[in-house]
Structure 1
Amino acid sequence: MEPNILLNALIHEAGMSRAGLATRINRLGHNSGKPTRYDHTSVGRWMKGQRPRGYVPEIICELLSERLSRRITLEDIGMGRPDSTHGAPLSGFIARATALWRSDQEGRDLTDTPLIAGLNAVAPVWEWENPPDDTDVSRPSGPRVGAEDVTMLRTARRHYESMYRQVGGVTTRVRVVRFLVEHTVPLLRGSYSDRTGRNLFRAAGGLAAIAGLCGYDSDAHGLAQRYFHQALRLAKASSDRRFGGYVVALLVNQAMFLREYRQAIGFAEAGLRSAGSHISPALRTDLFVMQAKAFAGMKAVRDAHHCMALAEQTATRIRREDEPPETEYMQPGLLEAQLAEALISLGDLEPAREYAEEAVRAQGVSS
């Protein structure tokens, strides 16, 4: 069962306690001739993913709608159709994403959030790659968002990425999530033109990707996966295929860590195919070498060597000044080190040793 972060966030926004919500439900049920005996424990179970029976979800929507002075639906409280989360409108996605950020900031333990598996794990990548696209992401109401706000988010992403590389994900995650809630959410709910909105979603996606890396670093892979999925949806809304390819590479890397080799290969192919000419040489190199490692893990020798060759060919076209900021991790020696890993998986120890020595030399020259 997956935590119902949407219900959790709305109850918090409404200023209700668990016991207070249960009392209100019991009162409405009694007045309608359908008495119930819920308490704070019952609400706690719903927050953990259980769904109350019968008409109770509708009562919850009615209570929250009245309290928040806006219409709350079953989807808004996380009790809609099981398949209603994929392909949701952008506004619905933003509500779900910000609910996760708030829950994470408020210290609710999301580190045990389960990994999404099967078709649901593949769906975000498929949806990024395929139509429909967001034809207009402008928003007419709320405080005006301008170019300076987008610049602030971009600056914050660089700051938190640097922090992540210096002190790790456990420490950085608390800070980047707080920034998402306190500074990014108000901007997403502001008013902006289509052009500014796409730049805003690109910047917000960069921050969500950092939060995902921090979750990965904290061994909270289910949580990291959700942040990566959010970053990918924001990439689609921004129309930045290059950034989307980078987020797909993060999912490939996670699949590799989890030894989901076929999924890693499929995601990498999607990234290479969909980002196309927009993808940078460094990212293309990384996707090829991760495919090589996945094939090596499956003992598919010919395919592994083919992808290794493609990675080396593409690496010759890397120009640091032309690369997006997210690919700074592709430092000298990294390619050789990863090729050595692939060869070790294949049992080719002598070539692996040569690549490992080359990686050490390249790192020494760059330091």
Structure 2
Amino acid sequence: MGEPNILLDSLLAEARISHAGLAVRINAAMATARRPTHYDHTAIARWIRDRAIPRGDVPEIICQIIGSKIGRTLTLSDIGMTRNRIEPDEPGLPQVIDQAVALWRGDLVDKAFLTGATMIDGPAAIAPVFEWENPPHEPDVSRRGPHPVSRDDVQVLKDARARYEQMYRRVGGVPVRPRIVAFLNANVTPLLKGSHDDQTGRELFRAAGGLVALAGVCAYDSDRQALSQRYLFHALRMAKASGSLAFGGYVVALLANQAMSQAKHRYVIQYAETALRGTRDHLSPALVTDLHILQAKAYARVGDRASCHAHMRRSETTAAQIREAEEPPETGYVQPGLLECQHAEALRRLGDLMAAQTYAEEALRHADTCHLRGQTHRLATLALVLAERRELDQAVATAETMLERAQGMESERIAERVATVADALRPFDARVVRGFLTRVRQQARVPL
């Protein structure tokens, strides 16, 4: 299944034209031009579902029909019907807004939205990061719209992101994602299409981008990878419009983290290097630390021990500079013990199990200061190291605590971590292991 034409679908909703209504208008226009057609609502649905393009000048007529209803001129690119499928190098900001709105509208109305789509790969996966890093940048993001946008409106978006992030940390991305998507549609769309000056507009894109990025995180946590990637690309484009290099670097770090989960280790390294280079010392120490951690893990996965150790050292140097009160809200996940946990993962991959255990135990000494999600990951890391060292009693005891912490979380990523620990212990035929595996199966029977 390919991607639907979300741009056409969204524009029809904005114009309040049904599929049947568009078909009637197209047939009337073609009859006037003495080229009669007999389209009906099923044809329109197929164009959207299959991203099909009708013959002749019908796409141009669609632009005229919808454009006259919404009061602006539309191009074939605006309605998703560019015949050669080659988009401009970088779409203008109004088109960027339309594409973002179309994305989260499609996500709202269709529970299976982009389920069959694949992640963008190859040069197209690097292009958004390249465009973020390089000119041209918007000299002015002011906009004239139907309703004025105030600083209070922007603050509402900031408060919403903070609230949804706390919910995500407590219960996982599966139940939180629909809430964020509904908020984007009901509250963010009107503001992005509202009226604001340049300064307010940049603050708006920064705040809206934070919510869009969190929607991407929740989609990632729900194992909706193609959807997550699209959200993160839009968040990165909003970061560019906001002028905040630090926020852009954070979004690139999210892309690197997703690439890590997909075993695309070269992308991880490239994304992280781009973020560090493109932000020109605008990143906070916490984010620099995380980017070096990601590179260390990626190098460990490809077996480059020297590069892994080099980035571990750099991350430890920058971690010493972290001042929590001076960090932006998005980097709150870089909590005490995160570095040690991630280093333990890297060292385990390199086979340095004694050093990995030392780091993993140090990470757990800080566990009470972090949220349950972080505790679950740290316990899983230590359990994996202990399992590989064949310390079965300790491994199972740690894994049991991990199960307790994971109780009630609706997160595909957490479920994946639990399954990884279970797989590591499964080869051992011991009573304590069999008991743990039974409890994992029982917990897995409760659906997300």
TM-score, normalising length: structure 1 = 0.95
Q: Which moved more, 1:357-366 or 1:217-226?
A: 357-366
Structure 1: distance between partners of 2:368 and 2:106: 43
Structure 1: distance between partners of 2:142 and 2:190: 15
Q: Which moved more, 1:67-76 or 1:243-252?
A: 67-76
Identity value in percent: 51
Which residue is equivalent to 1:60?
A: 62
Mapped pair 1:73 → 2:79? no
Kept after mapping to 2: 8 A contact 1:169/1:213: yes
Structure 2: distance between partners of 1:95 and 1:307: 40
> Could you tell me which amino acid in structure 1 is paired with residue 296 of structure 2?
A
> Could you tell me which amino acid in structure 2 is paired with residue 132 of structure 1?
P
Structure 2: distance between partners of 1:210 and 1:10: 25
Structure 2 unmatched runs, 5+ = 372-448
Listed one character per residue, the Cα deviations across residues 239-283 of structure 1 (whole Å, up to 9, x for unaligned) are: 111111100000000000011110110000000111131101111
Query: What is the RMSD of the two structures over their aligned residues, measured on CA atoms?
Result: 1.8
Question: CA 1:106–1:86 in 2, change beyond 3 Å: closer, same or farther?
Answer: farther
1:79 Cα offset (Å):
1.2
> Could you tell me which amino acid in structure 2 is paired with residue 350 of structure 1?
M
Mapped pair 1:301 → 2:302? no
Which residue is equivalent to 2:171?
A: 167
Structure 2: distance between partners of 1:19 and 1:185: 26
Kept after mapping to 1: 8 A contact 2:3/2:114: no
Which residue is equivalent to 2:102?
A: 99
Q: Which moved more, 1:56-65 or 1:289-298?
A: 56-65
1:193 Cα offset (Å):
1.5
Listed one character per residue, the Cα deviations across residues 273-309 of structure 1 (whole Å, up to 9, x for unaligned) are: 1113110111111100100111111111111111111
1:22 Cα offset (Å):
2.7
Kept after mapping to 2: 8 A contact 1:19/1:39: yes
Please give the residue correspondences for 1:174-189 in structure 2 after superposition, counting only pairs within 5 Å: 174-189=178-193
Secondary structure of the residue aligned to 2:279 is helix
> Could you tell me which amino acid in structure 2 is paired with residue 128 of structure 1?
W
Which residue is equivalent to 1:254?
A: 258
Which residue is equivalent to 2:215?
A: 211
Which residue is equivalent to 2:86?
A: 83
1:129 Cα offset (Å):
0.5
Which residue is equivalent to 2:9?
A: 8
Which residue is equivalent to 2:30?
A: 29
> Could you tell me which amino acid in structure 1 is paired with residue 59 of structure 2?
P
Mapped pair 1:314 → 2:315? no
Kept after mapping to 2: 8 A contact 1:160/1:176: yes
Structure 1: distance between partners of 2:170 and 2:128: 30
Which residue is equivalent to 2:423?
A: none
Secondary structure of the residue aligned to 1:143 is coil
1:365 Cα offset (Å):
6.6
Structure 1 unmatched runs, 5+ = none
Question: CA 1:269–1:50 in 2, change beyond 3 Å: closer, same or farther?
Answer: same
Which residue is equivalent to 2:417?
A: none
1:151 Cα offset (Å):
1.1
Q: How many residues align?
A: 367
Secondary structure of the residue aligned to 2:325 is helix
Kept after mapping to 2: 8 A contact 1:86/1:124: no
Mapped pair 1:290 → 2:259? no
1:102 Cα offset (Å):
1.6
TM-score, normalising length: structure 2 = 0.78
1:364 Cα offset (Å):
4.4
Structure 1: distance between partners of 2:152 and 2:199: 14
Which residue is equivalent to 2:135?
A: 131
